[in-house]
Homo-oligomer: A and B are copies of this chain.
């Protein structure tokens, strides 16, 4: 009876998108539920998956809001 919580930033997986699509959400739900079926024999019907989309402003990394930190890392690599 697992519960899987997936927290991701609210943004698109390609430049042309600005959010996670319903198809991507369905694929995440399917994927992680199957991991628990395959590894721990948990029936699909006993697994709940909750996806939480977090605004970029609300996600911190490197002591900074994510977008600022990404810019710094990108600049450091170039």
Q: Which residues of A contact B (CB under 8 A)?
A: 1-9, 13-14, 20, 22, 24-42, 44-45, 47-54, 57-66, 68
> Who on chain B is nearest to A3 by CB?
B7
> Who on chain B is nearest to A66 by CB?
B1
| Number of identical monomers bound together in the oligomeric complex | 6
Question: Please, could you name 23 A-B residue pairs with CB atoms under 8 Å apart, sorted by A?
Answer: A1-B61, A3-B5, A3-B48, A4-B4, A4-B7, A8-B42, A13-B41, A22-B65, A26-B68, A28-B39, A28-B40, A28-B60, A30-B63, A30-B64, A31-B32, A34-B63, A35-B35, A37-B63, A45-B61, A47-B60, A48-B59, A49-B59, A49-B60
Q: A26-B60, A29-B63 are in contact. List 7 more A-B contacts (CB 8 A).
A: A1-B48, A5-B5, A7-B50, A22-B65, A25-B58, A28-B36, A31-B34
